Amino acid sequence: MTSEAGENGRDRTESFAVLSEGTIVGHYKIIEKIGAGGMGEVYLAEDTELRRKIALKFLPPHLCQDEGCRSRFKREAQAAAVLEHPNIVTIHEVSEHQGRPYIVMQYVEGKSLRDIIKEKELPLDEIVDLAIQICDGLSKAHEAGVIHRDIKPSNICIGSDGRPKILDFGLAAVQGSEHLTKTGSTLGTIGYMSPEQVKGEKVNHCSDIFSMGIVLYEMITGQRPFKGESEAAIIYSIVNEEPEPLAKYKSDIPEELQQVVDKALAKDIDERYQTIDDLMEDLRLVKSGQEVLHAPPAVAAKRRPKVKSLAVLYLKNLGAADDEYLSYGITEDLIVDLTRIGTMRVAPMRSILKYRDSDDEIEDIAKKLDVSIILDGSIHRSEKAVRVSAQLVDINTRKNLWANRWEEPPDNLPQVKQFLAQGISQALELDSSVVKAAQVGKPEAQNPQAYEY
């Protein structure tokens, strides 16, 4: 029982239902609680008349006396109820139980896209297919004049059949309802907002397109494109900064897919996709391996230099066991030097060590490390010389990009490292000025004993 003054100043006393397993709500029987968020608690229930599972979404008790929250909750049901589409969750009815409004909706047996992204890396073809279906659902909403305003992975459920369903139209704006799209409002989830949304400006369907671009980027990379340690930092990034290229996180990204993401994430609305159908059409072209129609390659290519991905495999020690430190030291130094360049994604040492004594083929290792280029080599030290062999392999073409062999006096190990780093840089056609600035291959350790520590 809760008693307090309502918005009109009158005392208002309400008794709100406490829900648990077995609770009867209309002709629905609660089975279990399956989710909760700021604007709702979701329960799995049985429709006792039709003998089917459904989902009941209740407004939390502490919000039940807030007229704004009650109106927004009802608006969610109204916005989604007019949308019949296989990629939008179906709304059956809206009602109230002991002071608590609730929505009866289709129960989707599956996982949220957010959880799936956290659990595993999705194949590109699956990502594009999911994105096309989500766009198709949004197209239906936009056609009906409904702007979702909170598109994000946690609001997309992937059913057991692999079909995505858009959920939670609680922040939806309906065309013609001016009070829902007024300026000064920043409703939504910060990390998935458009620039106009975070600035509190009036939004239209293009804001959903920007949010869809963020979801697509996150599906591909596992990372959000706009990050920060505070809301202010994230907002600054959304408004002012360009996302890292997709290839920094995942190799073999089609240039056409990068173009699509770039256009969806254009900060200027006029440069963004003007309809979700245009975005969907380009995704279908990417899926079929054709050039995209709506995202000009010149724009994307100018903003997105191609990022190479490389793994320096642990140099095999062909000498005495006591010389193992040489393999470790040179491998680590090479990784550090090449990482400094900044225009190339280099697998970290901790990942390389997992394959230190592996018998896996380099193609399999490259796939596990998500790189397209491998440096493989060996080192052997005798009393008179240190011999190092190395080859740079393009995994996609299975061609050697570069190979070399050196023999140097034992006290000239830093020079060997320099030869290796410079050879790799030249073979990959890296910008010489950038390589020089990063001091790649600089022989800092003049004493070979330094590799022991």
Domains and CATH numbers, the chain: 2-106 (3.30.200.20), 110-303 (1.10.510.10), 308-452 (3.40.50.10070)
* Residue of higher predicted confidence among 240 and 307: 240
Of 66, 115, 150, 376, which one is the catalytic site residue?
A: 150
What is the rounded average pLDDT for all residues in the chain?
Answer: 83
Question: What's the pTM value of the predicted model, to 2 decimals?
Answer: 0.61
Position 284 pLDDT exceeds 80? yes
Give percent of the chain above pLDDT 70. 83
Mean pLDDT of 46-66: 91
140-154, 353-367, 382-396, 420-434: the lowest-pLDDT one:
420-434
Position 303 pLDDT exceeds 60? no
Q: What is the pLDDT of residue 171?
A: 58
Dihedral over alpha carbons 250, 256, 260, 262 (to 10 degrees): 70
Mean pLDDT of 151-156: 94
Pick the most confident of 197-201, 267-271, 344-348. 267-271
Q: What is the pLDDT of residue 14?
A: 55
Give the span between the Cα atoms of 310 and 328, in whole angstroms: 18
Pairing of strands 373-381, 308-312: parallel
Q: What is the pLDDT of residue 335?
A: 85
Give percent of the chain above pLDDT 90. 47
Position 98 pLDDT exceeds 50? yes
User: How many CB atoms within 10 Å of residue 443?
Assistant: 15
Give the span between the Cα atoms of 291 and 126, in whole angstroms: 19
User: Is 150 labeled as catalytic in the residue annotation?
Assistant: yes
User: How many CB atoms within 10 Å of residue 9?
Assistant: 7
Position 140 pLDDT exceeds 90? yes
104-108, 243-247, 339-343, 370-374: the lowest-pLDDT one:
339-343
Helices (H) and strands (E) in the chain, counts: 14, 19
Mean pLDDT of 212-241: 92
Q: What is the pLDDT of residue 445?
A: 42
Rounded to 5°, the CA angle 172-177-182 comes to: 80
- DSSP for 417-435 reads HHHHHHHHHHHTT--HHHH
- Closest by CA to 78, choosing from 97, 40, 105, is 105
Q: What is the pLDDT of residue 40?
A: 81
- Residue 243, both tokens: 């996302």
What is the pLDDT confidence band of residue 228, given thresholds at 50, 70 and 90?
confident
Give the span between the Cα atoms of 266 and 210, in whole angstroms: 7
Q: What is the pLDDT of residue 302?
A: 46
Residues in Cβ contact with 181 at an 8 Å cutoff, skipping those fewer than 6 apart:
147, 173, 202, 203, 204
Mean pLDDT of 81-101: 90
Residues in Cβ contact with 437 at an 8 Å cutoff, skipping those fewer than 6 apart:
none
Give the span between the Cα atoms of 321 and 356, in whole angstroms: 14
